[in-house]
Structure 1
C-alpha cells in the first residue's frame, strides 16, 4: 500500500487549528548556554515522572542540548512572546539581555518570569520523520506564576481567555 500524498501546506494549516503552549528548552553546553523554542511539549508519565517534546532534526540547537544530556523546559507566559521569537530564530547569543538563573538539577538556564519550569535528564530519543521525539526524566519542577500561558494558534500567537 502506498503512502497518501499529503500537501505540507494543508498539513500545517489543518494542524494549526490545534492550539499549543510554548516553551523554551535550555541547556548548558560546556560553558555555553543553548536554547530553542518548542511548541510540542507534553506530559508522558507520572511514574516515573517523564515529559517529552519534539525537536526538528535540522535544528542547530537541538544537537547541543542532546549532547548536554540535561535540560530545563521553561513554560512561557503570555508576556514572553518576544523571548519566544528570539529562541525560535538564529542568534549567536539568544540569552543577551535575558534574566535567568541556573536550574537546580541540570544547571541549564531557568528563564525569569516563566509560568513554570521542569528540570530534566535526557531519558531517550526516538527518530520520527524530520523530528526527534525527546523524553526527559523530571528531577525538579516548580510553578513560578499563575499568569496566562503563551499560546500558538493558526500560525500566530494567541491569548488564552478564561
Structure 2
C-alpha cells in the first residue's frame, strides 16, 4: 500500500489545536528591524527555533496578515531578542495592537540597524536569508551574524497562555 499523497483534513477545531500547542512551553522573543525609512519595528514571537549550527541558522514565523510583514520581507537584517524573566511587560507591550511599543525602550543598534533590546537573556543578529510561505504564516530563516547572551540570565517562558520563569528540577 502506498502512503497518502496529502494530509487528511483535521479531526479537531482551531481552538483545540491552539490548546494542544499551548502545552509546548516556549521562550519569548521580540523580533526587531528597522524599515527602509528608519521606522523601528518590533513584535513579540514565540515561534523561534534553531535550525543549524553550520552555518548558524535560526527560524521564526510571522502571520501573513501582520502589518509588519512587508518590512521583514524586504529588509536585509533583523534581530531576535530572547527576553529575560523580568521582561514580561515588554513581551505584552510588543504583542499589543495600537500600543506605543518603543516609548522608553532602551536599545542599541545592531547589524542593518535592527534594534537590540537591553536587558535581554540573549540576542541573535540575523541576515534575512530566506522565507517560506506555509499556511497563514511566513517562516523566516535567518543566518546569525552575531550573537550574545547574558551569563546567569533567567529566560521568560510561555505555556498555556501564561508567562513563567524557569525553575531547575
Tell me which interval the TM-score lies in, with the shorter structure as reference length: over 0.9
2:88 aligns to what SS in structure 1?
Answer: helix
More displaced stretch, 1-10 vs 29-38: 1-10
Structure 2 match to 1:57:
64
| 1:79 corresponds to which of 63, 86, 105 | 86
Q: Partners in 2 of 1:146 and 1:66 — Cα distance?
A: 34
CA RMSD of aligned residues (A): 1.4
Bigger radius of gyration: 2
The answer for unaligned runs of 5 or more in structure 2 is: 1-5
Q: Partners in 2 of 1:150 and 1:92 — Cα distance?
A: 21
| 2:18 corresponds to which of 9, 12, 20 | 12
Structure 2 match to 1:130:
136
> Following TM superposition, by how much is the alpha carbon of 1:62 offset from its aligned partner in structure 2, in angstroms?
2.7
1:148 aligns to what SS in structure 2?
Answer: coil
1:34 is aligned to 2:38: no
Structure 1 match to 2:105:
98
Q: Partners in 1 of 2:152 and 2:65 — Cα distance?
A: 34
Structure 2 match to 1:142:
148
Structure 1 match to 2:75:
68
Residues 99 and 111 in structure 1, CA contact (< 8 A), matched pair in contact too: yes
> Following TM superposition, by how much is the alpha carbon of 1:92 offset from its aligned partner in structure 2, in angstroms?
6.0
Residues 122 and 135 in structure 1, CA contact (< 8 A), matched pair in contact too: yes
Give the aligned length. Answer: 161
Q: Partners in 2 of 1:154 and 1:58 — Cα distance?
A: 23
More displaced stretch, 80-89 vs 139-148: 139-148
1:79 aligns to what SS in structure 2?
Answer: coil
Q: Partners in 1 of 2:112 and 2:57 — Cα distance?
A: 15
Q: Partners in 1 of 2:11 and 2:159 — Cα distance?
A: 25
Residues 31 and 79 in structure 2, CA contact (< 8 A), matched pair in contact too: yes
The answer for unaligned runs of 5 or more in structure 1 is: none
Residues 93 and 99 in structure 2, CA contact (< 8 A), matched pair in contact too: no
> Following TM superposition, by how much is the alpha carbon of 1:125 offset from its aligned partner in structure 2, in angstroms?
0.6
> Following TM superposition, by how much is the alpha carbon of 1:38 offset from its aligned partner in structure 2, in angstroms?
0.7
